[in-house]
Amino acid sequence: MDILTFIAEVVGVTASGALAPGPLFVKNITEGSKFGARSGFLFAIGHTAVELSLVIVLAFGLLTVADQPAVKLAIGVAGGLALLIFGLMQIRESMSAKPVEMRKEKMAVKGHFLVGTIFTGLNPYFILWWLVPGAKLILDSIAFASWAGVFLMYVAHVWMDYAWLTGTAYLARRGTKFVDHKGYRIVLMLFGLILIGFGIYFLASALV
């Protein structure tokens, strides 16, 4: 696998985590309507603090068993099935997405980092994502270039979190009803289809 193909895989699979509606996204919109892009950026930093720690722990564990065929098969099949399920769920979400309520809450800006860590660490979808399709990315990155591959994978992954959270917070502050827009539903459906494609690819790679 060349570097561009590897990055394309990471970016495509990352969309299932970064763009999926969840508690952090909802909070990001409500706070973004008051504080703008800076709140989204702080949320992203808090998210990264939890996520990067989890990635390092998983990478250490997978590094010792990365060459085992049974491990590759199990993670490939589990990751593929998970992406198929996440893709179908995202397509369903795109057809029934409801407007995000703009609640008027008071929260000090300095608390955004803490909220980002809490909403990330307590999100079951986030944990499951990194344990299944995320683990496949880590395994591929180890095979690609060991720890350098893990670093490259995470950089290719995390920029989408910052772009998404900061961008949607900015749009919320500007008064753009981005989360109500038909375009958002189309984006969700498109990435749902991409996830299904990657799910099929993961399954095929593991079983062939």
Given this model, what pLDDT does residue 22 score? 66
- Tokens 């893709």 belong to which residue? 87
Under the phi-then-psi rule, with left for phi > 0, alpha for psi from -120 to 50, and beta for the rest, what region is 101?
Answer: beta
Q: Judging by beta carbons within 10 Å of its beta carbon (0-12, 13-18, 19+), is residue 149 exposed, middle or buried?
A: buried
Q: Look at residue 11 and tell me whether its pLDDT is greater than 70.
A: yes
pLDDT per residue as tens digits for the range 23-56: 688 778 777 877 889 999 999 999 999 999 999 9
pLDDT per residue as tens digits for the range 88-125: 876 786 776 555 444 444 445 557 888 888 878 777 67
d(CA 83, CA 201): 10
DSSP, residue by residue, 160-205: HHHHHHHHHHHHHHHT--GGGSHHHHHHHHHHHHHHHHHHHHHHHH
Which of 7, 5, 3, 4 is CA-nearest to residue 156? 7
**Phi, psi dihedrals of residue 198, rounded to the nearest 5°:** -65, -35
Model confidence, pTM: 0.73
Q: How large is the C-alpha radius of gyration of the chain?
A: 17
Q: Delimit the domains of the chain by residue range.
A: 3-207
Query: Distance of CA 191 to CAs 78, 89, 179, 205, Å?
Result: 19, 11, 16, 21
Compare 165 and 196 and report the one with higher pLDDT. 165
Asked if residue 67 lies in contact with residue 173, where contact means CB atoms within 8 angstroms, the answer is no
